[in-house]
């Protein structure tokens, strides 16, 4: 259990007014850089999803190895009786 858990439990869920106040404080802190922050946050999310899909494909490959067929069991094609060797 972390130190912040009791504090967060004491505060309870955030309402509309608290959300608006937090958004205004964020706007004051970031100001003109807010579009840049949003852009970099979006790029980070995209990179995270790409990495996650790469990990999923690696896990799928490891869980389902390719099936190897034994070609020695197949019979060679027979020549027709009309052809000579």
Query: Can you give the pLDDT at residue 77?
Result: 60
Query: Can you give the pLDDT at residue 82?
Result: 57
Per the CB < 8 A criterion, the answer to whether 40 and 47 are in contact is: no
Per DSSP, helices labelled H in the chain are 5-11, 16-30, 34-63
Residue 80 has pLDDT above 80, yes or no: no
Q: Indicate the DSSP class of residue 80.
A: P
Per-residue pLDDT reduced to its tens digit, 32-75: 888 888 899 999 999 999 988 888 888 888 888 777 776 665 56
């Amino acid at each position: 259990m972390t130190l912040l858990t009791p504090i967060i439990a004491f505060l309870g869920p955030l309402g509309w007014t608290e959300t608006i106040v937090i958004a205004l404080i964020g706007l004051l802190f970031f100001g003109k850089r807010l579009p840049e922050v949003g852009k970099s946050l979006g790029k980070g999310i995209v990179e995270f999803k790409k990495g996650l899909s790469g990990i999923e494909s690696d896990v799928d490959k490891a869980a389902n190895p390719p099936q190897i067929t034994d070609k020695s069991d197949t019979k060679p094609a027979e020549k027709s009786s009309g052809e000579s060797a």
